[in-house]
Amino acid sequence: MIKSPRGTRDLLPPDTALWNFVEAAVRDVFRAYNFQEIRTPIFESTELFARGVGEETDIVSKEMFTWEDRGRAESDKGQSLTLRPENTAGVVRAYIEHKLWERGLNKLFYIGPQFRRERPQKGRYRQFYQIGAEVIGPPSSGSESPARDAEILELLATLLDRVGIANWTLELNSVGSPSDRARFNDALKKALAPVVGSMCTDCQRRAVTNPLRVFDCKVPEDQPIIEKLPRISHFLDESSRAHFDQVQAILKSVGVPFVLNDRLVRGLDYYTRTAFEFTHGALGAQNAILGGGRYDGLAEALGSAQSAPGIGFAIGEDRLVLSLTESAESVIRKPDVYIAPLGAGMNLPAARLARELRRHDLVVELGDEAFKLKKSFEAAVKIGSRHILIVGENEVKADAFAVKHLASGEQVTVPRSELAMWIEQHN
């Protein structure tokens, strides 16, 4: 038997109804904040992620699905391509490619699959889905303002409340400017030098390649050492500090609760200043329901001549759906009526009737004239239809149809012209 590849999964009904419910609610929220949708390819040049996300990150160094795309003709050059592990680099690539700075501030959102070769477990898949947004533009458009950071965080609080996620925690940090981080890195290396020998092998490697990543360590024995390391919060310069203070002041004034976590460094290299995660208890080890932050130098790193500060986030849609208390059954719209054609030749009038009722926005399931009445009733009950409607020769002649409300057993004969209204009103 052929099975879906490791770390991937099929989303089946009724769960897909829950996914659609989430996406519809999210689209409403984005509309209220004047965001517009962007769709970028699911694969990009490998170089985009190497330069955008960072060669030293786990994502780029070990989790990407990459292949060499041979040219189809002599003149075609081959190229290394990669299934996107995230979408921020792609959006910024599109921003540069299509000169989106000419439109001022861009507020863009996306919903789609991402790919990382991680060890699969609950809430962690190799194909997973993100709902993300990016606010990006030239500095003159206000893209660097702490007001944008606070607005994004307030949007997220609204969005999670709207889809019914209770008890989330917003963890907030500032990872500073590149020069803040350079000073912090030096201090970190100095502090690690005498202790790193007793840490895990991952940390020993991190201490050399990217000391900041030591804060990602989950090994219990290393935690007392990590607790004593210097924190980025002590290395913020005047302007980073003021920016972060302003973000917090706005959040307090609009009533979005947060906790400061100066160990939060995020797993991608493009972040500057504000960085955040929303966590949720129901998720277990993979408890980050979403993450994001500011990336003021990313456009330049990807070759833009103009600076384009930005901030964004991505929600793990799989994890969002896992944390919902809503059940799939409760968001599915059950059929309003099951039409049961009774006897030879009745498929035709039944099809006409179904077409009419569906034009009135009713959800209609259509049976088959080959079914006995008993089988039609069973089918109607099985799919949870509210009514069953019989289309037999007598009904067609009279142009009036027997409709039965399945829950109450109430049955009446209704003229064709009043059918839609009758069904609608009898819930």
List residues near ligand HAM by CB under 6 A: 86-88, 116, 118, 123-125, 128, 130, 132, 134, 267-268, 288-293, 295, 312-314, 316, 318-319
Give the residue with the Cβ less far from ligand HAM, 295 or 401. Answer: 295
Neighbouring C-beta atoms of residue 372, cutoff 10 Å: 11
Residue nearest to ligand HAM (CB): 316
Q: What minimum distance in Å lies between the beta carbon of 320 and ligand HAM?
A: 8
Q: Which CB atom, from 130 or from 233, has the smaller least distance to ligand HAM?
A: 130
CB of 326 to ligand HAM, least distance (A): 18
The 10 Å CB-count burial string (b at 16+, else e) for 299-312 is beebebeeebbbbb
Tokens (6 digits) for 266? 């995020």
- Minimum CB separation of residue 132 from ligand HAM in Å reads 5
Give min distance, CB of 266 to ligand HAM, in A. Answer: 6
Contact between 118 and 63 under an 8 Å Cβ cutoff? The reply is: yes
Closer to ligand HAM by Cβ: residue 36 or 394: 36
Q: Which is nearer to ligand HAM, 167 or 413 (CB)?
A: 167
User: Of the two residues 130 and 143, which places its CB atom closer to ligand HAM in the complex?
Assistant: 130
Taking the least distance from each CB to ligand HAM, the nearer of 83 and 388 is 83
Place of tokens 């020069």: 179
Shortest Å distance, C-beta 408 to ligand HAM: 45
When the beta carbons of 196 and 212 are compared against ligand HAM, the nearer one is: 212
Q: What tokens were used for 355?
A: 């077409």
CB of 112 to ligand HAM, least distance (A): 12
> In the complex, what is the shortest distance from the CB of residue 114 to ligand HAM, in angstroms, rounded to a whole number?
7
Q: Quick check: 108 and 133 in contact, CB under 8 A?
A: yes
Write down the least CB distance from residue 275 to ligand HAM, Å: 9
Return the bridge partners of 69, or none.
Answer: 79
Please say which residue, 314 or 353, places its beta carbon nearer to ligand HAM: 314
